[in-house]
Structure 1
């Protein structure tokens, strides 16, 4: 976020929330950015360093199918795909998806326009790795439970969910609406086990920290693995 446009996201979010449309501010923000009148505050040239560190150090198998949620211009999705993982990435903003395809014209990633709160039925239980990086926190607390439930729904048996989010400290107007310890606990269910929940320094912002949490959905005993194809 720049001094020239310190509150474009909050201005547009306020308008969308007033219209009872919690996801309605993303496309206007990306459209303004495409017109050069605003910036996308989370856009960056390099993949999220907490994602890079996890991918390069984890012992979790990373084959199969991956889904990157709220992919924006695609930097994280391209990094995931570069690991040899068949990757689908989506954003609710058509302008963002056009930007990703333009930025990476030879990409192996399947980019889609989709709404996290109303995802395609074909994506249910379809992915072995789901990456959620700062998307939950960009949605107001009123839809937090629904957004987390939708994310859980993407996970196939024996799948991994990685969540990266800002840590709530003092109350502040959003966006973003950082995640509390209770929010992190609420992601786990009887069939989604937390493997490691960490508070880690942000390499890009000294003095700030983020959650990085890995969850695992157990394999269904006695059921062979199924290849769902490319979602």
Structure 2
């Protein structure tokens, strides 16, 4: 991988050309795009091999990473603008990718732990944001360090839930909820669909019930925005939850 990633303007025609070419190559490698049965463990339903291939083939060019927009997700940026002071907050950024969302949290004063299970992604993010108050680590959502349990004041995830097939949603939701300390919050952002709307993935947009199911994991829904974002007006959920403190707890 190149020592430093290229920071091209996302509206540059050459960047767009490279991204389009990369998407075609990655789709050809993706078992989910080739119609592999989602309940067959032989095709790697957690998609680890494919995600690792994304960063390997990108070789330091952000155009090769479909979600590598070199800026925080707009709905996260909007939420942070409304919640600007995260001083003393311990935050976890799930599936950090190239690190832009983690950096946005750190810029608001949070002490950020950011993880991805792709080592190349973590290396890339470390290089980009060296010097910021971010601990970038390689970790697996499905086998996270035990010391992270109920540790974080704010847990943020964008696009992680929508990236894996629906049968993994219950395990992912519980893992995310388990990171939140009593009194802490979870901010989840994903593509949205109607309950009866079928969309071939990946990604697999979530229905309202998929988001509200966090309430079965010990969380309480504070707000759920059904909104659109970006030039293509893609529909998203932005959900904020909190974990109640035990009765009598400070």
The TM-score bracket by the shorter chain reads: 0.7 to 0.9
If the length of structure 2 is used for normalisation, what is the TM-score?
A: 0.81
* Residue of structure 2 aligned with 1:175, choices 202, 205, 209: 202
* Counterpart position of 1:5: 22
Question: What is the CA–CA distance in structure 2 between the aligned matches of 1:92 and 1:206, rounded to whole Å?
Answer: 29
**What's the CA shift for 1:58?**
3.8
TM-score by length of 1: 0.87
Q: Distance in 2 between matches of 1:23 and 1:148?
A: 17
Distance 2:51 2:83 in 1: 32
Q: How does 1:141-220 map to 2 (within 5 A)?
A: 141-168=166-193, 170-189=197-216, 191-202=218-229, 204-220=230-246
Number of residue pairs aligned between Structure 1 and Structure 2: 223
Distance 2:58 2:156 in 1: 24
SS in 2 for 1:189: helix
CA RMSD in angstroms, aligned pairs only? 2.4
Unaligned runs of 5+ in 1: 225-231
CA contact (8 A) 2:98 2:124 kept: yes
- 3-state DSSP of counterpart to 1:3: helix
**Are 1:33 and 2:58 matched, yes or no?**
yes
1:184 Cα deviation after fit: 1.0
The 1-side partners of 2:132 and 2:62 are apart by 28
Please give the secondary structure, in 2, of the residue aligned with 1:218.
Answer: coil
Instruction: Give CA-to-partner distance per residue, 1:29-63, whole Å, 9 cap, x none.
Output: 11111166971111112111111111121499764
Which has the larger share of helix?
2
Moved more, 169-178 or 93-102: 169-178
Alpha carbons of structure 1 residues 9 and 138: separation in structure 2 relative to 1, 3 Å: farther
CA distance in 2, matches of 1:213, 1:84: 22
**Contact 1:29–1:38 (CA<8 Å) still a contact in 2?**
no
Aligned counterparts, 1:61-100, within 5 A = 63-100=88-125
The change in CA–CA distance for 1:18 and 1:37 in structure 2 (over 3 A counts) is: farther
Q: Which residue, 5, 10, 14 being the options, matches 2:31?
A: 14
Q: Give 1:158 deviation, angstroms.
A: 0.1
**Deviations along 1:134-172, whole A, 9 cap, x unmatched?**
111011112111111100110100001001000125423
Unaligned stretches of 5+ in structure 2? 1-15
User: Helix, strand or coil for the counterpart of 1:6?
Assistant: helix
